[in-house]
Structure formats: C-alpha cells, structure tokens
A and B are shown apart, each in its own frame.
Chain A
C-alpha cells in the first residue's frame, strides 16, 4: 500500500483552507503542538505542514494563475529518512507514510536539508522536526464514519482539488485520476519518487478581451482612484 495525495491544479482555488485545516487538526494530533512564534505580533510565523504558493505560468494572454499546495510527498526514495542519524525519521513499510518519532529526534535539521520539497519544519519550542503525517491518527480511526477517515486537508478542500488514496491500487479513484489526467510528481530528476501526484490544469482557450466595450469616463476615473488610493 502506498498512501498519498493527488492534487488537482485545475480546480485548486488557492484558498488555504487545506493549510488551516491541517494546522487545526495537527495542533492537537500525534506530533502536537505546532508552535507559533509571535502569532499576534508584528512578524507572525510558525510551524505548518502544508504551504500554498501561487504562480503565474505562461505569457500573457496565454497565462494562468496556478495555486500550488505542497506538503510531504511521502517519497518512495525518502532520503530524509536515510540521512537521519538517530532513527527518528522512518517510513512505514505497510502504507509508505513518512513519520518522525518525536521522542528520538535531536533537532539537527539534517533531514530538512535532504528534502527538496520543503516538507519538514523544525519546531523551535520542542526542538524536534515535524512534518505532515497524512493524518495517520484520522485515517485509521474506526470511531470515525468511513467518509471522514481522510486527511484533514482533503476533507476541508471546498473545490475537491485534493484526493486521498492508495496509489498502488490501480482502481482507486486517486490512481485513476493520475492515469486519466496525466498526473506527475515534482522534480523527477531528484529521484526521490514522490508518492503525491499533481494533476495539470486542463487547457482552455484564453478568454477574449478585445471585444469588450470601451470603459466609460466615470469608470476610468473610478479605476484611477482605486489605483492611487492606498487601502
């Protein structure tokens, strides 16, 4: 079994709901707490397992905004595990989930150096490395209804852009989506063989703008005012 996420870059709206749901669940889950530094101050920062970046791909007018969520890829060739000197980092043979044993970690940061995806973050409060657990404490919880035995990020996504499943099972919805939509892993040249896969955006023609009516003078003034007046 090789559990992982499939992320649909076509439908992701970049709302960060997955990241906040992840933070909420994991703040009290097996590697809790996820420390925040200066949360209400001038420079808020903290530990997150899921980060969303936003990119523009292509040149105008054939450009597109891509919202890009990234968390642990639970790589098959997880070098974060092999470089760990203490044995705190491990990959579960039964389902491929990469975890950090908080009782063994000495906080040397070496695994975060080995991770090309920036999935590992040191918690300065506990002095240990933390990372996405694929909500290992949710997905096997038999007290939850079956449909809720999924990672918090997948349940929270309002656009259904995240899929959770066994990528070794060719009939799982996740595997099927990867097959049908030409899903891909990031940085294949690194040879980490990430389990998480990304579905590329569907190609659509650019929305024509040349036939729009010329804006009225009032609208031009309003737009100019909007540009010059700071919030």
Chain B
C-alpha cells in the first residue's frame, strides 16, 4: 500500500492522543503515584486533544475531495471509517467538558469529573478500536485482515500515552516509580504484540494468481499488464519493501520505538536526567512512526497479483516445501510447478 504521510500521521498521533487520554484517566482513577493534580490533568488533556487534532487534520490531507468530508458520518451502520469519525468527533465535547470542569473547579476527584473523564476515556478506547477495524476489516489485504491490528493499535497508543505521562512526571518531579514501570510494561507488551504480528504476516498464505484468474490447474505467468505507465492501481497498491530492508526497519522499530524509551525512563527514575528524559517520548514517536510506515508498505493488496507481483512476504512456495520439491526433482520425481524467484 502507498505509505502516505497523511494516514501514518493520522493513526500515529490520534492513537497517541487517545492513549494519553485513557492513561490520564487510569492514573487518576487509581491514584497511581498519587494521581495528577488538577492543573497537570488539564495539561495532559490539552496535550491529548492537540495530538488527536494533529491526527484528524492530517487525515483530511488524504481526501481528494475534502468538501464532502462532512458526509463521512452517514454510513455508520456498515462502515468502520464512519464509526471512527463519529467517535472521534464525539470525543471532543466530552473531553472539553471534562477539561473545563477540572480547570475551573480545580478538582479532578469529584463525581462529575470522574464521570466525564471515564466516559471520555471509553470513547477514546472505542475510537482506537474503530481505527484498527478500518484496516482489519479489509479481506483484500492479508497483512491487515487480522484481529492483531486493533490489538496493536491499543498496545501502541496506550504505551505512547503512558510514556508521555511518565516523562512529564520525571520532568516535574514527584513519585514516579509506578508510572515509569507501567510505561515500561506497556512498551514491552506492545513490542511483544508487534512481534506476534510480524510472525503472523510472515507466513505465506492467501490468494494466488491461480485463484485470482481461476486457472488453478497450471502455472499462470503475466505476459503483459495492459498499460504502458502507472495506473491508479499501481500508484495506490504497488509499494513494497524488500524483506532485507523490512528486517532492518523492524530492528530500528524495536530499538528506537521500544528499547530506548524503556531504558531512558528507567534511568530517569533512578538518576537526574533533566531534560534528557524527553528522549523517551521522542524516540517512541519516531520508532512507532517507522512501525506505522512498515504497517502500510508491507501490506500487499490482492490486486497486485493481477499485475504479476507476488507480495514480498508471500513467497510462491514455502522455503521448506521448495527445498523438498527441489530434492525430489533431483531424483527425477514429479515436481509441483512454482515460480522461480
């Protein structure tokens, strides 16, 4: 898929914003490390709103005809994109009401702020789920059509949110051990979840050019794709990444997105790092931004098959089977045909 910056920023920043809102409410609900003071709660919520807004504005850059964007809420009965839009918009009035209540009453522990805050957090959680389902519901893209996608969106959004909260606590001082441990645990959980996802999409499966053309009985090879230069289909769907390059990117995702932030936060909890603790959230954003780039560029739409392109992560034949077939061929036995790549 085309890794357009608009959708990368939409999912990265709005995911982090919703995650920050949820983390703020969890920290206040359970008074983790003493909870947040009303002023700091207000600052966290403003930051969450800013992140969500950056995401929403960048998403409109993806639209070719933004003057009709207001219609995007109408098909909520069937479309996850419409549902995401509705919950993202619903998030604003509830969160702003919470922000106003906490700021003007200077209290974040009374029943009104508890109710408003938790409703806003639940809306944020639902929005993250809808955002994941936008991708996970597409049967045409094998790398997205898995429940791991919304699960990853949750893990990464909450990890970013808690990392921001822990960083703020380390900057302003005060008890920070549980906040830092929570951020570390969420980052590690997100890293493991992403590992499961990478394992899952690495297995060859799904539609082939044979089933796409209906000629399941023999080898099918593209002779001519019928157009001289790019089409909408090649521009939108033909981006890919070599497995070696993807592996290097994944290493960077793990180091920059998960290991560096965890280590910086742990160091910050035990020694005075000062402003250097900001490395944790910045590094997490860069790493998870890279993760989001990979999420799009590794996704291979089935229409690529018609252009004779087997997706990079989907070999024509599993390496183990291929080795077996080649051994059989050496002994003069019948070999199933496969594309020599």
Binding site for B on A (CB under 8 A): 16, 19, 43-45, 47-48, 51-59, 62-63, 65-66, 68, 70, 79, 81-88, 103-110, 112-118, 121-122, 124, 126-128, 184, 186-191, 198, 200
Contacts and interface: CB of A to CB of B under 8 A. Distances in A.
Interface string B214-236: 11011111111111111111001
B211 A187 contact: yes
Given A116-B212, A116-B303, A188-B211, 19 more contacts: A16-B226, A19-B226, A43-B228, A43-B230, A55-B223, A57-B220, A83-B81, A84-B79, A86-B68, A103-B68, A105-B65, A107-B65, A108-B63, A108-B81, A116-B139, A117-B303, A126-B65, A127-B63, A186-B214
Interface string B307-341: 10000000000000000000000000000010000
Nearest to A103: B68
B207 A48 contact: no
B222 A106 contact: no
A106 B63 contact: yes
A192 B72 CA distance: 24
A45 B236 CA distance: 14
B47 interface: no
Contacts of B209: 55
B159 to A, nearest CB: 27
B333 to A, nearest CB: 17
Contacts of B218: 57-59, 62-63
Interface in B275-301: 301
Contact of B74 (A70, A86, A105): A86
Contacts of B71: 85-88, 104, 106
A122 B64 contact: yes
B228 A44 contact: yes
Contacts of A52: 226
A79 B141 CA distance: 13
A43 B230 CA distance: 8
